Amino acid sequence: MTKSRTAPKKEKVARGTLRFSEEGIPLDENGNPLDPPLLLVDEIVRMNLLGVKTRRVQEMIEQEVLPAKKATPEQEAALIRSRRIQGKQITFKGVYLVELAALDYAEAHRKKVGFPEGGERPKRGKTTGMAESRR
């Protein structure tokens, strides 16, 4: 009898939603207003707005599926003052800011990665009968 080597099914993680105040200002997961009203890559991952991990968000920015802009020095200073980032998080690559509307654009234009859901994986190798005679 052979053992089945199927992995347990992964649970689908519910995607987060962005909340807004009465004035229309976006709020973070703690209910604090985002100032400037732009999202950082870490916030997108932490709030699970796209359902992907940090590296995948970075790849989406590189492939221009997720439109983002580099923060200006003034914006970086505002982010540090509001404690959304620390000074050591600013690298030579800079800090990328994502507009709220860009999340909808990315969701509509992103390519799915991995094996398609619901399809059967192809059988590995083919049975020719050669190996059975050696057993």
**Mind listing the pLDDT tens digit for each residue in 61-117?**
998 899 999 988 898 888 888 888 887 767 777 889 998 888 888 888 877 667 777
DSSP string for residues in 37-53: S-EEHHHHHHTTSSS--
Under 8 Å between Cβ of 78 and 85: no
Of residues 128, 35, 17, 134, the one with CA closest to residue 82: 35
Which of the residue ranges 8-22, 47-61, 101-115 would you say has the lowest mean pLDDT? 8-22
β-pairing verdict for 39-40 and 96-98: antiparallel
Residue type, 55: R
